[in-house]
A and B are shown apart, each in its own frame.
Chain A
Amino acid sequence: MLADQLKGGATAFAVGALATHLVATVLQNTPDSYNQDLRKFTGGWPLPGWRFFAPNPGVQNVHLLVRETAGDGPTPWRDVTPVVPHGWTQVLYNPRSRGPKALFDAMQQLSVMSANQADFAWVTRSLPYELVCAASRAAVSDEARALQFLLMNVFPSAPAQHRMKPILTSEWIPLGTAPRAAEAAA
């Protein structure tokens, strides 16, 4: 009897959870961002977003530029965007494309914050800012005492005068030696 009840409960749970997840996925996938985070109705279970490259595809290259101070004045800006190999191998297996994609995702989130005129202090505490900070730390020299990064959008299809658009210039970020050594090792 108890076993039957447990079986019935498990079935009801699975059917209910799947139905909820599917209905929430339908409602979450409106063509624009007119949607709430419906994960609260699925107990935190992520909902897939199926708007691939739509409605407005990303048509820009995101570049991460970094400069640092090591005693004298700041160094010139350096482009430290992750380099990804291209070719037939990547048609079959392309795990290194995730780095630039992560940068792109972070940039998009920071762009939204910027468009919504978010307070800069709030931006600096955000997850995408921390992600770009971490990527920048890994790119500066061991002697650097502080770094500053710049996220730049480059639109290859745009007219020359509108091709480059800076997204965010960070504050000067002081660097501690120990954590950076650990990051480099990681």
Chain B
Amino acid sequence: MTLAASAGLALARGNRRAQIAAATVIGTCNRLSEIRTPYGRDGADQMTAVVTQYRALTALIPDQRFSDDLFLRAVNFQAALSYAVSGVSKAFGSSWVQGDALIEVLRTEAYGSGPAAALLRRHPKLCRALTIGTVAWETAFPLVYLLPREQASHALSAVKAFHAGVAAAMELPRFVWGFFGAHGAVGYVLDTRGTPRTFEKAVVGIAGGVVLASALIAREKRLTARERRLGPKGSARLRHAGGDVEYRVDRPGDGAASRTVIVLECGLGQSLESWEWVAEGLARHHTVVRYHRSGYGLTTSRAASGDLLAAVLDEIGAEGEIVVVTHSIGSLSAASYVRDPRFADRVDKLVVVDGTDPALLDEDRTDRRRFGTFLQAQLYTLLAAVTGIYEWAPNAVERQAGYTPDTQFGHVQFVFSPRNVVNSVREYRAVRTEGALSRLGAVPSVLVVASDEFADQQAALAEKLGAKYEVVHGSAHRSIIGHRHHAEKVEDAVRRFVDAC
């Protein structure tokens, strides 16, 4: 039926009613096909759906001129959006920015078996240039509306050549049919430039307004979270080395804390609230100290972790032995001070919860692809933070954290603070790994508590540290302390470990 309608559409040139009827049939078949199975479809199907379904919808408008104008402007909008979104999304992909994407795609069976693919594979430098060139021209596509008409036509011809090249190399001819059609609408808008109030400008205005509102709401929430930290129920601060150190101390309510002090080291970009469940349990019998390392939260001091912690312990008068409990990259922060003369005699127990293996971190930082992937993830978080997307979209931070409402609020706003995201990148690059394993392994008693997600990796780390090893089944890297039922197992493991030694 689609084929027949397509033939009708081609033959009905100049006959508006017949074109609308054919487009309606194609659009309906497209939708029914999608309902039957959402799998196996691609962007060309989406563009076909946009063109045909928009045509059917605008046909409801009795004013023929307005109907056609609206239809073409809406299709043009989607066409421009498709190129720009594709380019911007690629700019967030490390393999695109580093020039590897195209050659890797062309090595797959699905997209690397076209007649032109073998030719391209023989010229890696050309592939690299095309990869980066694709990111650049797709991102810059909206500039076509600023070009003089003739140059704009040349630009559209170049885009058509790109689609033809994709068809020849990757055997994706559907994109040719889907997108060439949309170029007619782009041409229409180019020809009618100068109209003061147009449909697409209104849509851009509304979308921009929504994003701005989202960004402002998120910013306001982050400011509220910061105000709470500064308030009487917030965290404590002390001056040290020309800046502040943010910390929190929890003790048993009856004042019967053991002399042992438990220090909780946060993971990369994580708030001290991330330890809430564990701290709450451990503070029934012990003094529990949490603090933010340099650059995080309200900690403005540039001093090293050991200096910050020493200042906090002095401030609260903690003199007993210290048990350090770390999460993720917090293990490397601990490695920087556990053998420091100020702590070496006091720290004889260490618990590493899903800790960072220094050797793996070194590999991740020196491999440009892996480091690119890390930067990519941080860039996403930064984008979500600035635009406030995290406030209304599901995200891994909230999925892996289930604190009480106020704590959850403080933790989420902390993780999505642009300043903390940037500081995470700084810390990831700067944290020292030399000798970290030997210093951690030199602590007399070490326990590794692993999430299910990284159980094998943590088993290897435990072996390197000569540590005891436990797994919290069903947990993931962040939920191991973020979900109460997992955190209680971590707390139980820490308590048993402290009591047993």
Q: A residues bordering B, Cβ < 8 Å?
A: 7, 10-11, 13-15, 17-19, 22-23, 25-27, 29-32, 34-36, 45-46, 48-61, 84, 86-88, 90-94, 97-106, 116-117, 127-128, 131, 156-157
Which one, A22, A35, A131, contacts B74 given CB within 8 A?
A22
- CB neighbours (8 Å) of B60 from chain A are 10-11, 13-14
- Contacts A54-B92, A99-B40, A105-B39 given; indicate if A29 touches B81 (C-beta within 8 A): yes
- Contacts A19-B199, A60-B108 given; indicate if A55 touches B89 (C-beta within 8 A): yes
A31 touches B88 (CB 8 A): yes
A18 touches B110 (CB 8 A): no
- Count A-B pairs with CB separation below 8 Å: 211
Which one, B57, B62, B172, contacts A94 given CB within 8 A?
B172
- CB neighbours (8 Å) of A56 from chain B are 93-95, 376
- CB neighbours (8 Å) of B89 from chain A are 29, 31, 50-51, 54-55
- CB neighbours (8 Å) of A50 from chain B are 43, 46, 81-83, 85-86, 89
Which one, A14, A46, A59, A97, contacts B104 given CB within 8 A?
A59
How many residues of B are counted as interface, with CB atoms below 8 angstroms from the partner's CB atoms?
Answer: 84
B173 touches A91 (CB 8 A): yes
- CB neighbours (8 Å) of A11 from chain B are 60-63, 66
Q: How far is the CB of A16 from chain B (nearest CB, A)?
A: 10
Kindly state the separation between the CA atoms of A58 and B86 in the bound complex, as whole angstroms. 15
Kindly state the separation between the CA atoms of A106 and B34 in the bound complex, as whole angstroms. 14
* Chain B, range 363-387, C-beta contacts under 8 Å to A: 376, 380, 383-384, 387
Q: Mark B52-86, 1 if CB is under 8 A from A, else 0.
A: 01100110111100110010001001100111011
Is B501 an interface position by the 8 A CB rule?
A: no
26 sampled A-B residue pairs with Cβ under 8 A: A14-B57, A15-B70, A22-B78, A22-B81, A27-B207, A27-B210, A29-B89, A31-B85, A31-B380, A34-B380, A34-B390, A48-B78, A49-B46, A53-B86, A54-B86, A55-B92, A56-B93, A59-B107, A61-B110, A94-B172, A98-B40, A103-B39, A117-B474, A157-B103, A157-B104, A157-B107
User: Which of B338-346, B392-400, B402-410 lines the interface with chain A?
Assistant: B392-400
Q: A92-B167, A98-B41 are known; give 5 further A-B pairs, CB within 8 A.
A: A7-B62, A11-B63, A15-B61, A52-B43, A56-B93
B173 touches A48 (CB 8 A): no
- CB neighbours (8 Å) of A27 from chain B are 207, 210-211
- CB neighbours (8 Å) of B86 from chain A are 50-54
Which one, A25, A52, A53, contacts B81 given CB within 8 A?
A25
- CB neighbours (8 Å) of B95 from chain A are 56-57, 59
- CB neighbours (8 Å) of B108 from chain A are 58-61, 156
Q: Mark B196-240, 1 if CB is under 8 A from A, else 0.
A: 000110111011001100000000000000000000000000000
